Amino acid sequence: MTEGPVPQEAFQALFNWVSLFAYFYIVPLLLAGLLGFIRFFRRKGLSWFLSILLSVMYILFAAVIGYVLLFVFVLMFYGFAP
């Protein structure tokens, strides 16, 4: 029992699968959000400069949210590592 009920390699393999599917979920979600913002900017008739500035701000915001969502996804589907 000093090493735990499952070998460390098994936990690493499961974590790799969960991380892979987390990226398959998070990246398309953030790209869909970016496309939605771009369409919204075009409908409102904003200038190109303002559209680009808001898009860059969204990318920075999405990077932070994506980082947090990765941890949430791993905790939901993997749990705490031993």
Contact between residue 69 and residue 37 where contact means Cβ atoms under 8 Å apart = no
The model's pTM is 0.72
For the segment 43-76, what is each residue's pLDDT rounded down to a tens digit? 888 888 888 888 899 999 999 999 999 989 888 8
For the segment 23-45, what is each residue's pLDDT rounded down to a tens digit? 999 999 999 998 998 888 888 88
The per-residue b/e assignment along 58-72, b for 16 or more CB within 10 angstroms, e otherwise, is beeebeebeeebbee
